[in-house]
Amino acid sequence: MTALPMPDVRPANPNFSSGPCAKRPGWSVEALRNAALGRSHRAKIGKAKLADAIDLTREILQVPADYRIGIVPASDTGAVEMALWSLLGERGVDMVAWESFGAGWITDVVKQLKLEDVRKFEAPYGELPDLTKVDFDRDIVFTWNGTTSGVRVPNGDFIPADRKGLTICDATSAAFAQRLDFAKLDVVTFSWQKALGGEGAHGMLILSPRAVERLENYKPAWPLPKIFRLTSGGKLIEGIFKGETINTPSMLCVEDYLDALNWAKSLGGLDALIARADANFAALDAFVQKSAWLDNLAVAPETRSNTSICLSIVDSDVTALDAEGQAAFAKGIVSALDKQGVAFDIGHYRDAPPGLRIWAGATVETADLVALTAWLDWAFANQKAALKAAA
């Protein structure tokens, strides 16, 4: 293969990172001009902004009125850990994982919480485990959308309405881009820096009435750090779910999240966000389907993410290389695009198979993904030519 000429059209926004993700179209620092800087988050203005963030989250995500929504520290990781440490142990738990973050939750439950009645259902990158084997008389922990594998559950149909256990769902790369079936979910977590392109360090914790009942009637056998405590005297700390955060939030980040939420509302809310992400996936997938050197890492079409799109390099000369060589080839493509300023941060996650990972959530413009496809071919052709020359 010979090198290709450089494409004429560049993506207007080259930010395709899977977290922190691209800011909304048209964003500028001017959007933060009304931030409550230098003010206490406990002052009237701070509490009002935090409450607005919760209310807009409920409106746009279409969260049921009887579910609590809280802003918590340490991003999605903090929200998941709060749920694991506060809720698990009352009964056995089924851990479901098909990528690195789900695998991480297994490690925490087995090695940190040291729960004994744990069943693990795991699948390799690109596939889902057999969800029919999960016992919903037990608690279940799973990711809705595997950020590092590009594999998602198609829907919540595998979860029975009459379950006895709790469903704890890490939805950080699904929220605001995929429709979450809240009737089937007892705990939902996500972070601001994903699908709406907010800033890092803040997480969201959504609890069903069943999860609240567990919190108020079950006391874990282990001590809970203050930052994890959701109850006091056996009752839910309701203030957490009205904007009275456990620790001090960044009011600058709060303002940025409010800006993103208001942008989402101006588009038409959740339906519009999902439509944008679906259109982005369709544009990139059309290219992949015609490509001789790329394929989706997710095997089944119905499980392919419309946000964190993970791609494998299937060219025979590349797949003939050992794992280190394949990783180096993918890294060469990523580096070439980075140097040209046309795509930043699209390398595979460190634990995932070698390839590319391109964010296609609602804050990304479809035209930018279309422009990127020609550059992908350009970078591959040049990397392939270099490989041939070195042979």
CATH of the domain at 305: 3.90.1150.10
If pLDDT is split at 50, 70 and 90, which confidence band does 4 have? confident
Other CB atoms within 10 Å distance of the CB of residue 235: 10
How distant is the alpha carbon of residue 80 from its chain centre?
Answer: 12
Give me the mean pLDDT over the 84-89 stretch.
Answer: 98
Domain match, 79 and 220 both: yes
Residue 354 lies inside a defined structural domain of this protein: yes
If pLDDT is split at 50, 70 and 90, which confidence band does 1 have? low
Give me the mean pLDDT over the 178-182 stretch.
Answer: 98
Domain match, 163 and 221 both: yes
Domain match, 335 and 376 both: yes
Residue 3 lies inside a defined structural domain of this protein: no
- The confidence score (pLDDT) of residue 281 equals 98
Residue 213 lies inside a defined structural domain of this protein: yes
Q: Is the pLDDT of residue 21 over 80?
A: yes
Q: Return the CATH number at 170.
A: 3.40.640.10
Q: Which of 239, 253, 192, 259 is nearest to 28 (CA)?
A: 259
Work out the burial of residue 323: count CB atoms within 10 Å of its CB; fewer than 13 is exposed, 13-18 middle, 19 or more buried. exposed
**Is 99:122 a contact under the CB 8 Å cutoff?**
no
Give me the mean pLDDT over the 146-170 stretch.
Answer: 98
Domain match, 50 and 142 both: yes
Q: Is the pLDDT of residue 220 over 70?
A: yes
Residue 17 lies inside a defined structural domain of this protein: no
Domain match, 236 and 297 both: no
Domain match, 258 and 296 both: no
* 337-384 per-position pLDDT tens digit: 999 999 999 999 999 999 999 999 999 999 999 999 999 999 999 999
Q: What length does the chain have?
A: 391
What secondary structure letter does DSSP report for 2? P
* 238-279 per-position pLDDT tens digit: 999 999 999 999 999 999 999 999 999 999 999 999 999 999
Other CB atoms within 10 Å distance of the CB of residue 72: 26
Name the pTM for this structure. Answer: 0.97
Give me the mean pLDDT over the 87-104 stretch.
Answer: 98
266, 292, 319 — which closes off a domain? 266
Domain match, 180 and 325 both: no
CA angle (270 as vertex; 21, 131 as ends), nearest 5? 80
- The count of C-alpha atoms lying within 13 angstroms of the C-alpha of 239, restricted to the half-sphere facing its C-beta, is 10
- The confidence score (pLDDT) of residue 2 equals 65
Q: Is the pLDDT of residue 168 over 70?
A: yes
Count of domains forming the chain: 2
- The confidence score (pLDDT) of residue 169 equals 98
Q: Is the pLDDT of residue 104 over 70?
A: yes
Give the structural domain span for 262: 30-266
Work out the burial of residue 37: count CB atoms within 10 Å of its CB; fewer than 13 is exposed, 13-18 middle, 19 or more buried. exposed
Residue 97 lies inside a defined structural domain of this protein: yes
Domain match, 313 and 356 both: yes
266, 300, 327 — which closes off a domain? 266
Residue 24 lies inside a defined structural domain of this protein: no
- The confidence score (pLDDT) of residue 92 equals 98
Residue 357 lies inside a defined structural domain of this protein: yes
If pLDDT is split at 50, 70 and 90, which confidence band does 3 have? confident
Domain match, 236 and 200 both: yes
Domain match, 197 and 54 both: yes
Residue 291 lies inside a defined structural domain of this protein: yes
Give the Cα separation of 98 and 123 in Å (integer).
5
Q: Give the C-alpha distances (Å, rounded to integers) separating 219 from 11, 229, 236, 262.
A: 52, 11, 12, 39
Examine residue 20 and say whether the peptide bond preceding it is cis (omega within 30 degrees of 0).
yes
Domain match, 293 and 257 both: no
Domain match, 275 and 225 both: no
- The confidence score (pLDDT) of residue 219 equals 96
200, 234, 266 — which closes off a domain? 266
- The confidence score (pLDDT) of residue 391 equals 81
Give the Cα separation of 166 and 208 in Å (integer).
9
Q: Which of 69, 114, 32, 35 is nearest to 241 (CA)?
A: 69
Give me the mean pLDDT over the 276-284 stretch.
Answer: 98
